[in-house]
Amino acid sequence: MKILFALFSYLFGSIPTGYLLFLKIKKKDIRKFGSQSIGATNLLRLTDKKTALLAAVFDVLKGFIPVFLSIRLFDDLTFSLLCGFLAVFGHCFPVYIKFKGGKGVATTVGVYLALSLPSLLVLVVVFVTVIAITKYVSLGSFLSLMTLPVTALIFRYEIELVYFGLLVFILIAFQHRENIMRLLRGKERKLGEKET
């Protein structure tokens, strides 16, 4: 049963929301435009706020639903964390579109929505503050995710949450590697900048 649920977590996380929405609206592959990501930020750059919000909400649910259900079905924190990681991994490397997906931030938010509201609150505060100051979504994402293992220690959660936070941070840092290079070169697009 656990094996099947773990597989469900990955396959559900793999649903390429932004890709499907862009394909429906523009009849094109979003991975060939903008940042080439299937996430809400690139969708906002290429379409409109409503479409980007829809993608963001569903991407959050991709992390929330597997973890929420696994907690109630199995009452096993380690397994729930595995399901959460598989959902995020699925978003980043979706089997349906040849493993080229998004950055994983919204799906990680969904995982923490199910697991730890205090950690999620800190993440959101850091995310919003950094974007408000710099207008860089990638920088806000990167810095806010650094708080996950730290807040797990501060709030004295189980050590598994600390390890999970570190693992997810490494995965999402890898997914943001091109953004980080553009930030260092001063060529990263700011929030709201449309693709030219």
Q: What is the pLDDT averaged over residues 109-136?
A: 88
Residue 183 predicted with pLDDT over 90: no
Residue 193 predicted with pLDDT over 70: no
Q: What is the pLDDT averaged over residues 127-148?
A: 87
CB 80 within 8 A of CB 3: no
Residue (of 52, 48, 81) closest to 67 by Cα position: 81
pLDDT at position 182, please? 84
93: DSSP letter = S
Rg (CA), the chain: 16
pLDDT at position 97, please? 93
CB 9 within 8 A of CB 83: yes
The residue whose two tokens read 């080439």 is 36
pLDDT mean across residues, the chain:
89
User: What backbone phi and psi angles, to 5 degrees, belong to 63?
Assistant: -90, -35
Cα 153 to Cα 39, 166, 169, distances in angstroms: 29, 12, 15
pLDDT at position 137, please? 84
50-96: pLDDT as tens digits: 999 999 999 999 999 999 999 999 989 999 999 999 999 999 999 99
pLDDT at position 3, please? 94
Phi/psi-derived region of residue 98, left when phi > 0, alpha when psi is between -120 and 50, beta in every other case: left
